[in-house]
Structure formats: C-alpha cells, structure tokens
Chain A
Amino acid sequence: MRIVVPVKHVPDIHSDRGLTPAGRVRRGADDGTLNELDENAVEAALQIVEALDESERATSEVVALTVGPVEADAALRKAFQLGVGSAYRLGDDALAGSDVFGTAAAVAAAVRTLDAQAPVDLVITGMAALDGLGSVVTSLVAAELGLPQLTLASRLTVEHGQVEIERDLEGFTEVLTAPLPAVVSVTDHVNTPRYPNFKLIMAARTKEITVLSLGDVGLAPDAVGEAAARSRVVESAPRPPRPEVELVTDKGEGGLALAEYLIRNDLV
C-alpha cells in the first residue's frame, strides 16, 4: 500500500495572518506550520498502514507531498515527526500565484510522477487548509487524476482493494465506496492525530526531502502559477478595527442591558 498525503504549509492560525500587496498569502518561515487539518490525513494514512499484516506493511509507505517554496519544508518536517516515510516538495518559482486549479494540477502531476515510480493506491488530504478554507483542491486533484473522490470522511476504512467512507453533510449521513486507487479527504472527526515522537523529532531534522521541479513532473511553467490563474485578487485590505467593545458588568441587570442593546440596534 502506497499512500500519498498532500500537505500544506500555512500561516499559524494564532498568528496575525494577512496578504501581500500582490494579494498572496503572507508567509514566513517563522510562523508557518503544517496545516493542522493535514495532521488528520497523516494519521489516517499511518493507521491504514499500521493495520496491515507484517508482509504487506513491509512494502507499504506513507509519502508526504507539498507544493511550495523552500519554507514549506517546515510542513514536511512536521509530517516526518508524525511518522511519514518520505517527503517530496514540488518547488518552482513559476508556481507562485497559483489558484485552486493550478494547485490541483501541480499536486496531481506530482502524484502521477510518484505513481510512475511505484503505484499509488490512495491520496489522503485534510478537509481544508486553514488559510483559504476552500475545501475544493481535493475534488480537483481527483478530477485531474481521473480517480474517484470521497471527500469529508469522518470514518474511513480500506479493505480488499476498496475504500469506504462515512460523512455528515448538511443533515444527511452518507456512505460512499470506491475501488482503489482513490482520492479521499478526512475531517478532524476521523481520528485524533498522534503527538510527534521524540525519536522521530530528532530524525526529522536531517531526513531527506526530495525536491521536484515542474520539469520533473511534466508540467509547463504556464500551466500553473499566475500565468494560468483564472482569477486574481484585485484589492485587499485588513478590515478596519472594530470599535471598542461596549462592555457591561452584570450586577443584576446585564440581561436587560443586552436586550436594550439589541432593541436599540434594530436586531430584535
């Protein structure tokens, strides 16, 4: 079983996030982390491999893959700490400014390249990246690869060459199945990610990250990045700070003050 987990380097959710004048996510090596929701994807992949019998496990591998500049290695190091076996980064200046389609094309091309080395059975992603929150790249990657897509899994099982997921969607619980290979995204309810292991933390620092170029994955520079983007940010600005909060301390009439505020502002 070979499982590829595409992961993303995102600004820390606790940091002051923002955009550059060019409308791109402001990134720094200092505050960037592995997208928290990708930890669930790594965990899901590790659990699938750990459940295999010994001989199958010996030939199995969990591969972390990211698309991004050298800073994105931080996300791959974290994936190593959690226990992935190898890591690849598709890095190329031409990738800057990619929209969801360019990103999906890049991820899919890298997966195809990995598949040519040794067949990939599953691609598992997190449900969303905590910067853009689009939740669409997984679907687009599946479409690029021509593989079945099973998104937003809150339960995931792989058995007899088949994947089955359960998901909760707007008042419905659905069960979906597909033959392998397939593309899956998992929510934060699917499992509890493990803590980095001390031995792995030490080892992660020096583990090798294979860097791929667009040429290595057979993509033309104008198929991705700003050149291919079908939308652009024409304006961006931090929202003006909220006015100072109107704070009331309850001494027996806090509820009345709350009601009065809502009535005064025509919110009742």
Chain B
Amino acid sequence: MTASPRTVLVLLDTPADGLRSPARELLTLARSLGDVTALALEAPSETTLADAASYGAGTVLVVDLPGDASVGARLAPVAAEALAAAADRTGADLVLLTSSFVNREIGALAARTLGAGFVYDTSGISLTESGVVGSKRVFAGTWDVECAPTTPRAVLTLRSNSVVAQPVAEPVVPGVEHLAVEPTAAATAAVLVSRTAHATAADQSGRPALAEASAVVAGGRGTLGDFGPVEDLADALGAAVGATRDAVDEGWVEHDAQIGQTGVTIAPRVYVGAGISGAPHHRGGMQASGVVVAVNNDPDSPIFEIADFGVVGDLAEVLPQAAAAIRAHKATQG
C-alpha cells in the first residue's frame, strides 16, 4: 500500500504584498503531499497570486468577511472559523500553516472545530502508509519526536527553514474562488481596538526577518551594548540580527530581535552567537539551528557545549575580522 495523496489547504500568511519565504517553503512541501488550494484571508495582490502559482497552488480561495476584513482576519478565532469553513468547502483532509504564535492559535482553533488532530512546530511533514506524520524537535532541540494525527483530518504548522522553497517548472494561473464567512459572536467577542505597525530593525536595514532568515548573527550581554560588530558580520553573511533577552532588556536592541523560549524561535542553517552564555531560555529558541557557531571570551561558557565551532576571544575583534574575510571571499567569487 502506498501513501495516498491528500487534499491540502494552505493558509497564506501575508497575501497583500507577495509571499514571504515561510509561505513559499510551505507551498513547496504541500504540493509534494497532494493537491493544493491556498487560502487568503484578505484579497491577494497580483504579485501574491503569481507567487502562489509559482509555488504550486492550483486554486486560491479568498475569504470575504463582512465589514473591515483586515481587522477581523487578524483575530485568531475569526481566522480559524474561515479556515475551518474553507477546509469543509474544499474537502481538505490536510490543513497546513506556517508556525507563528498567531498561526498556532488559528490552527488549534480550526482543528478543534474540524475534529482534527493538531501538530504544531513541525520541521517536516510526510505521508506514510499509516497516515500523516509530523517531525518535531522538542526540549530545546534535544529530542526528536514523530507525531501522527489519529483523525481522518489533520492540521499542522511548519517551522521556517524546514524545507527549501522551489518554484514549479511551469506555473499555472490559479483559479480564484471566493468564500463568504460570517464570524460568530464568540469569535468577535474580543475587539481589536487598534493595530499599529512598528518598524522593525529588519525593515529599516534591509536585513531578512529574524524568523525566516537562513543565517542569524545574535548578540548578548557580551556586546556591552555595541551591536556594531554583530551587524557587521550579519551584513557580510546576509544574515538577520538576533539577541538575548538581556540585551533587549538593556535596550540595546528592540524586542523583535529576541531569540528564545519567550521570543522568536529560529532554526536557520547557521546561527552565530556572540557574547551569549547559552542560558536554557535562550537555547530553547535556537538549538534546532543547523550549525551553531559561538564567540565568547570565556572558554567555560555553556554555549560551547552546544556549538559546532567556537572562538574563544573578544567578539569586538573576532567578528569584524570574520566579516572582512567573508567579504573578501565573496568578492573573489564574483
């Protein structure tokens, strides 16, 4: 018996301004699992539609909410009702979302309505003879677990950087369909009074967003407040900048940069931690990274226990030297 393909529904994250890399990765994975419909909670732009087509969505289902859709769609219970309605409409037995705080809530609430099993923060999803299996890293990346939904339907969220996004050979123009959704009173019982974007460091610097970056350079208390060397190496690598909570609490970097159990969870191909001791709360957010590199002037610092490569030294000297060498290398590569 071979695993039979699924009817897959994928929630698109930011339909207005083109797909972000986690959504592209998710669509890439989704089309290996079955026939894909993408769900947009707001009317998608032409760019987004073209993107969705490039990554294999045959149909884009657009949710029409009453009133100011951009407000309602931001509420997890409303989005979850739309997602569940879309799963019923398409007959999807596999519903996929990217992993974020909001998407986990949306996924869990939709799964509750659908009577579906729910597996969050997977780093891989596969079809086996006995059904869908989601792979997870738990306990700060120290354990690997395979979770299988026991229900005919399943909802899973996928972490960024778990698969490599790959466009299809021949994109088709996706069919656009509409689905009207009337949220229940319970879903709108909490009112969104205001929503203001705060410019993130990533926006201002042109660096990739922390949660999606394939390389991250993070700084801690050991920077003594000067993130210059961290940013220098990040820019040489095309990496995002991250930080420990202590660095955030000191006001050296903004809150969005915090990596850890109560900050952003990351799993880039490479993580460089500079002036970071490697406390369990921080490790919980980065230990699933592919390669861990640490720069710390204390050879007994716990971060070296989880590092693949380490430099014992002053980050203010090591990082700029590394950045210069990487730039020089890139120049020779043309």
Contact = CB atoms under 8 A, between A and B. Distances in A.
A172 B197 contact: yes
Question: Which of under 10, 10 to 19, 20 to 34, or 35 or more describes the interface residues of A?
Answer: 35 or more
B320 to A, nearest CB: 7
B166 interface: no
A148 B190 contact: yes
Interface in A164-192: 164, 168-179, 182, 187-189
Given A19-B143, A172-B196, A256-B325, A230 B101 contact: no
A150 B188 CA distance: 11
Interface string B123-138: 0000000000100011
Interface stretch (A49-57, A87-95, A135-143): A135-143
A260 interface: yes
Nearest to B214: A267
B104 A135 contact: yes
Interface in B96-153: 100-102, 104-105, 107-109, 111-112, 115-121, 133, 137-151
Interface string A227-260: 0011111111111001101111110011111111
Contacts of B280: 13-14
Nearest to A15: B280
Contacts of B100: 170
Nearest to A167: B101
Interface in B254-277: 255-256, 261-262, 265, 269-270, 272
Given A174-B194, A231-B117, A256-B325, A147 B147 contact: no
Interface in B283-327: 284, 291, 293, 295, 299, 304-314, 317-326
B281 interface: yes
Given A176-B191, A246-B308, A230 B322 contact: no
B4 interface: no
A262 interface: yes
Contacts of B112: 101, 104, 140, 143
A125 interface: no
A176 B76 contact: no
A237 B143 CA distance: 6
A118 B219 CA distance: 50
A164 B190 CA distance: 9
A188 B245 CA distance: 11
Contacts of A171: 197-198, 200, 203, 256
A175 B193 contact: yes
Contacts of A238: 142-144
B104 A169 contact: no
Nearest to B105: A139
Interface stretch (A62-70, A126-134, A202-210, A214-222): A126-134
Nearest to B245: A188
A81 interface: no
A120 interface: no
Interface string A91-105: 000000001110010
A58 interface: no
Contacts of B314: 250
B74 interface: yes
B308 A236 contact: no
B129 to A, nearest CB: 12
Contacts, number: 257
Contact of A268 (B105, B109, B330): B330
B21 to A, nearest CB: 14
B186 interface: yes
Contact of A143 (B109, B256, B281): B109
B193 to A, nearest CB: 4
Contacts of A265: 291
A238 B119 CA distance: 19
Contact of B119 (A19, A231, A246, A247): A231
26 contacts: A13-B281, A101-B112, A130-B284, A134-B108, A134-B121, A143-B109, A149-B77, A152-B101, A164-B193, A172-B197, A175-B193, A176-B192, A177-B190, A182-B190, A188-B262, A230-B115, A230-B118, A234-B147, A235-B146, A236-B144, A236-B146, A247-B304, A250-B318, A259-B325, A261-B309, A262-B322
Interface of B: 74, 76-77, 100-102, 104-105, 107-109, 111-112, 115-121, 133, 137-151, 154, 186, 189-198, 200, 203, 211, 215, 237, 255-256, 261-262, 265, 269-270, 272, 280-281, 284, 291, 293, 295, 299, 304-314, 317-326, 329-330
Given A149-B190, A259-B325, A262-B326, 15 more contacts: A19-B143, A101-B111, A133-B261, A139-B105, A147-B189, A171-B197, A177-B190, A230-B115, A230-B117, A230-B151, A231-B154, A236-B144, A237-B144, A256-B322, A262-B270
10 smallest CB-CB distances across A and B, nearest first, come from A255-B321, A250-B313, A259-B325, A148-B189, A230-B117, A136-B108, A148-B190, A255-B322, A231-B117, A235-B146
